């Protein structure tokens, strides 16, 4: 009986010890949670104040080079290719023969037409002599003259068709692509080859509705290709888009002469630097303050120690700064460091103001 009492006492003390330990762990966990809440209650951030500045009288825009002259060679005849004279990568001059299409049937038809034309002209000559001698009525010669006109027209058409069997380069450049081989059968409208001339290149860039107002056709531009960052290439504006795209930007076309010492190719990236004569005032902000992309720009604005995520509209980019056209006021606190730890409505503590 006494042993049983000891056993119950031992079990009771063990249960009490376990309950006390669990309670102590719970209290410690709660304390750690409260400590974490306190330490995470305020996110430290650095802010900058938007301010009005005289914007630099230049604009930078990125773009891609395109060939100024590029053309497909289109077949104007039907038949089998009997010979190919130019290969991919070869330089061709305007009028050079690229390929030859079989023209035997056309030449046979041309010979028959020319023979018929010669006969009609002799008939015309005989009838003229007879009419002059009043041996034949004048209306007889009208049918012969009409036949001559029809034969001459047919002869001219056949010569044109035969000429089309000699496929020639419509421009000077490099034969970048060739779609036919000897023995190929082609028809009218079929692409035979593609010629690209890289002596001049077009840099296509996009600018905003504000920036496009400062651009003029013929304006001088400095172009710097990504592959030659130390080389400045002179260019000029040759075309400005008349209508904005879906992103409300305008296409600007800049022509350059391809440098021989640092040759460029279509598809390469470059930066265009425009210089304007006018200065203007604008609200600016460090570029690093923008959360997300420049196309869907947002910033965190600090108000009463709370971060508010706000959409803004951007103007031009000026080095490390961007112009804010709407969404902010001068003097508001905008987060420039610490955005990765923020969400809309998060509590913040400003540790530095730039």
With 60 as the cut, is the pLDDT of residue 197 above it? yes
Answer for the pair 175, 90: CB distance below 8 angstroms, yes or no.
yes
Radius of gyration of the chain (CA): 41
Local confidence band at 134 (pLDDT 50, 70, 90 cut-offs): low
pLDDT 10s digits, 162-190: 999 999 999 999 999 999 999 999 999 99
**CATH no. of 59-68+197-275:** 2.40.30.170
Local confidence band at 343 (pLDDT 50, 70, 90 cut-offs): confident
Q: What is the pLDDT of residue 117?
A: 92
Flag the least confident range among 1-5, 7-11, 146-150, 214-218.
1-5
Q: What's the predicted TM-score (pTM) here?
A: 0.61
pLDDT 10s digits, 293-318: 777 889 999 998 899 999 998 877 77
Q: How many residues does the chain have?
A: 354
Q: What interhelical angle do 140-164 and 104-132 show, nearest 10?
A: 160
In CATH, what class is 43-56+280-353? mainly beta
Q: What is the pLDDT of residue 338?
A: 85
Strand 280-286 with 51-55, pairing? antiparallel
Query: What own/partner pairs with CB < 8 Å and gap ≥ 24 does 259-264 have?
Result: 259/231, 259/233, 262/225, 262/227, 262/228, 262/231, 263/198, 264/65, 264/198, 264/201, 264/225, 264/227, 264/228
CA angle 159, 162, 165 (to 5 degrees): 155
**Mean pLDDT on 271-290:** 84
Domain residue spans of the chain: 43-56+280-353, 59-68+197-275, 103-164
Q: In what order do the strands lie in the sheet containing 185-186?
A: 166-168, 97-101, 79-84, 185-186
Local confidence band at 145 (pLDDT 50, 70, 90 cut-offs): confident
Q: What is the pLDDT of residue 158?
A: 95
With 70 as the cut, is the pLDDT of residue 322 above it? yes
Alpha-carbon distance of 65 to 42, in angstroms, equals 49
The b/e string for 319-330 (b: 16+ C-beta within 10 A; e otherwise) is eebbbbbebbee
Fold of 103-164: Helix Hairpins (1.10.287)
Alpha-carbon distance of 273 to 229, in angstroms, equals 13
Share of the chain above pLDDT 70, in %: 85
Alpha-carbon distance of 324 to 347, in angstroms, equals 25
Which residues have C-beta within 8 Å of that of residue 119, sequence separation ≥ 6? none
Answer for the pair 276, 85: CB distance below 8 angstroms, yes or no.
no
């Amino acid at each position: 009986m006494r042993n049983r009492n000891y056993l119950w006492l031992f079990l009771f003390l063990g249960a009490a010890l376990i309950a006390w330990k669990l309670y102590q762990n719970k209290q410690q966990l709660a304390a750690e949670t409260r400590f974490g809440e306190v330490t995470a209650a305020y996110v430290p951030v650095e802010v900058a104040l938007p301010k009005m500045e005289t914007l630099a009288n230049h604009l930078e825009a990125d773009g891609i080079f395109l060939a100024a002259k590029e053309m497909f060679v289109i077949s104007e005849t039907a038949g089998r290719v009997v010979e190919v004279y130019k290969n991919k990568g070869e330089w061709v001059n305007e009028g050079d023969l690229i390929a030859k299409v079989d023209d035997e049937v056309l030449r046979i038809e041309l010979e028959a037409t020319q023979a018929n034309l010669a006969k009609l002209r002799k008939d015309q000559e005989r009838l003229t002599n007879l009419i002059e001698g009043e041996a034949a009525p004048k209306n007889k010669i009208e049918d012969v003259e009409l036949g001559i006109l029809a034969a001459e027209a047919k002869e001219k058409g056949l010569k044109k068709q035969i000429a089309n069997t000699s496929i020639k380069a419509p421009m000077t450049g490099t034969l970048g692509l060739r779609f036919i081989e000897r023995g190929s059968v082609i028809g009218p409208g079929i692409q035979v080859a593609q010629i690209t001339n890289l002596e001049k290149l077009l840099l296509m860039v996009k600018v905003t509705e504000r920036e496009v107002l400062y651009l003029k056709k013929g304006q001088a531009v400095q172009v710097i290709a990504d592959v030659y960052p130390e080389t400045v290439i002179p260019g000029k504006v040759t075309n400005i888009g008349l209508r904005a795209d879906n992103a409300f930007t305008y296409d600007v076309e800049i022509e350059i002469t391809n440098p021989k010492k640092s040759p460029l190719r279509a598809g390469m990236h470059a930066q265009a630097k425009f210089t304007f004569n006018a200065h203007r005032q604008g609200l600016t902000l460090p570029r690093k303050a923008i959360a997300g992309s420049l196309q869907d720009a947002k910033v965190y604005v600090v108000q009463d120690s709370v971060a508010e995520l706000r959409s803004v509209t951007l103007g031009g980019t000026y080095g490390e700064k961007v112009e804010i056209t709407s969404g902010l006021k001068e003097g508001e606190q905008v987060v420039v460091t610490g955005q990765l730890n923020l969400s809309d409505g998060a509590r913040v503590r400003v540790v530095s103001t730039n």
